[in-house]
Structure 1
């Protein structure tokens, strides 16, 4: 636990202190946000606000992870050092943040609200996502566990949905496709949620906070320790808990400056990097489908865009919402931005609570802890 406390506090401090310094740097360089012309009129005042703040979140995450492991080694705390799971998850997070950075930098240098072309973004995301998927199926520990498995998971791996059913080669290919689908979904979901001051930052912090609890529980109920019904076959759960704690702290430190009225935006650098991190946590903790419940708010926001675009094409120009993503619909309905953010945070908290309840309920069922329910 001492490692999680050190990591979480380090992430918080580095982000809270580093963000204003980064703001000054961005202001000097004139790197400001461009606002879409068809958005709510209240957003016009945000034009020119420094962006790419996600670099501070991700940078704090990486730095705090390395410093924490160094401090624990100096203090003689047996935490195990950096693991394959931790380093590969960082690779995915930094890689997706890099794609977002290229997108943000393109917008700034070309003085427009659109950055990378959709094709360019997809290619870069696919390359990074594929590298992550291949690495995640390597580096077995002493029990033969790799960071990821080729089985689709809900609250744990689902044996009858093993993607390796047709042989190792086919299994790897299917897993790479499945992993890329998850990564694409989470990066786009966080990106679409990042439309109001502090909304995506606060919602993501709730999800990463949930992953601290999930990973800690998996560590305490590891099959390496217990071997009982309901135990978890997850590689490096404590290191995943550390990374989740660090990222939660980094998000809270950034939120101090990102809340309304925002002094800085995370930009695509942050939203894509955070989306990559959520995908990594989901895959490594074997909660690939459960993440859709934990991130229920982001799923709803993403669906609002899909519904809006789909109905617009099918109906010949009609709209379901006043504007998509969903948060802008409520702004145009007359809700103040802060009201939308706080109420959406509450919805996100409810989704996270339901997700954690499902996760714990699965364990209880397997332990025979729910009367009348067959494991």
Structure 2
């Protein structure tokens, strides 16, 4: 537990301290903002630096290392990074690099389009398939893999075996869906940052509970979890959550820096990786309920307009609908954070309800 707490605190301190420096360095790295509809949230943001995701990705990596150092007094020897940690951080960095390329093109070309969508998809496919294969094809000495061949809800569903290839395919779809959902949500100051911090905090609770009831250490306990390196999962999630909270200090309204695609795509992929590592695939849409809500509004708007020529919302994603209805940016963000917290709490409640049932309490 100490390493998880130290990792979270270290990430928060690093992020909150380094972000002002990043603001100065990235002052010229601002992407063009289209505001034909006169959205209040876009007013004055033409000069706001982007690519702030570099800060919390870097802070997470440093805090991960610090968390491992914190284990030395307990174990008396270096606690080397595990494959689980490398897969999760690799997803974070790999998808972040795709977003970074998109951000750089926006800044250099001065065009909001950035990297063409087909190249983003190819990049996400490569990142998801590469790290998905690492997660499924390389077991630990205890025969645990980072991911599972079974579809999972709060744990593996015994009869839902889809094989390794099928599991990698499903994981790629999870990476693409979640990373794009976070990217869609990143439309108001602090919205995606705060919501992602809530989701990551929920995964800290889930992963740490799995560590405390891990089959590798408590094989005879009926409610134990057959997962790999759950403490490592909790450390990564805690470090990322701490880094986001530190970044939120500067990203909340009025934002002095925005995360950009480097942050949004990286966060979405990391969250998908956490769902895979904790064997909670079908719990992901619940724990990310706000992201599902925002993405659904975009899909509904698109399908309605293409089929009937009518728009369901004044503008999509739905946070802009409320903005055009007269809600202030801060009001929308805070209320959406509440929705994110309710969804995450419901998911964690379902997770613990399953444990209580199996443990016979």
Q: TM class by shorter-chain length?
A: over 0.9
Displacement of 1:75 in angstroms is: 7.1
- Tell me the secondary structure at the aligned position of residue 116 of structure 1: coil
Structure 1 Cα separation of the partners of residues 156 and 352 of structure 2:
15
| Residue of structure 1 equivalent to 2:291 | 298
Structure 2 Cα separation of the partners of residues 49 and 74 of structure 1:
44
| Residue of structure 2 equivalent to 1:41 | 39
Structure 1 Cα separation of the partners of residues 179 and 108 of structure 2:
23
- Tell me the secondary structure at the aligned position of residue 45 of structure 1: coil
What TM-score do the two structures reach when normalised by structure 2?
Answer: 0.96
| Residue of structure 2 equivalent to 1:92 | 91
Structure 1 Cα separation of the partners of residues 342 and 171 of structure 2:
26
CA RMSD of aligned residues (A): 1.4
2:205 to 186, 208, 213: 213
**5+ unaligned residues in a row in structure 2: which ranges?**
none
Structure 1 Cα separation of the partners of residues 167 and 162 of structure 2:
6
User: Is 2:10 the partner of 1:4?
Assistant: no
User: Is 2:4 the partner of 1:15?
Assistant: no
Contact 1:40 1:331 in 2 (8 A): no
Contact 1:35 1:44 in 2 (8 A): no
**5+ unaligned residues in a row in structure 1: which ranges?**
165-171, 370-375
| Residue of structure 2 equivalent to 1:189 | 181
1:170-249 equivalences under 5 Å are 172-226=164-218, 227-249=220-242
- Tell me the secondary structure at the aligned position of residue 37 of structure 1: coil
Spell out, residue by residue over 1:254-309, the C-alpha distance to the aligned partner (whole angstroms, 9 max, x if none).
Answer: 00000000000000000000001101100000011101111101100000000000
User: Is 2:283 the partner of 1:284?
Assistant: no
| Deviating more after overlay: 256-265 vs 134-143 | 134-143
Structure 2 Cα separation of the partners of residues 327 and 103 of structure 1:
23
Contact 1:107 1:113 in 2 (8 A): yes
| Residue of structure 2 equivalent to 1:26 | 26
Contact 1:40 1:332 in 2 (8 A): no
What TM-score do the two structures reach when normalised by structure 1?
Answer: 0.93
| Residue of structure 2 equivalent to 1:62 | 61
- Tell me the secondary structure at the aligned position of residue 106 of structure 1: helix
Contact 2:15 2:56 in 1 (8 A): yes
1:67-78 equivalences under 5 Å are 67-73=66-72
- Tell me the secondary structure at the aligned position of residue 114 of structure 1: coil
Displacement of 1:83 in angstroms is: 1.1
Displacement of 1:76 in angstroms is: 5.0
Structure 2 Cα separation of the partners of residues 368 and 321 of structure 1:
47
Structure 2 Cα separation of the partners of residues 148 and 142 of structure 1:
15
Structure 1 Cα separation of the partners of residues 348 and 3 of structure 2:
23
- Tell me the secondary structure at the aligned position of residue 224 of structure 1: coil
Displacement of 1:187 in angstroms is: 0.1
Paired residues in the alignment total 359
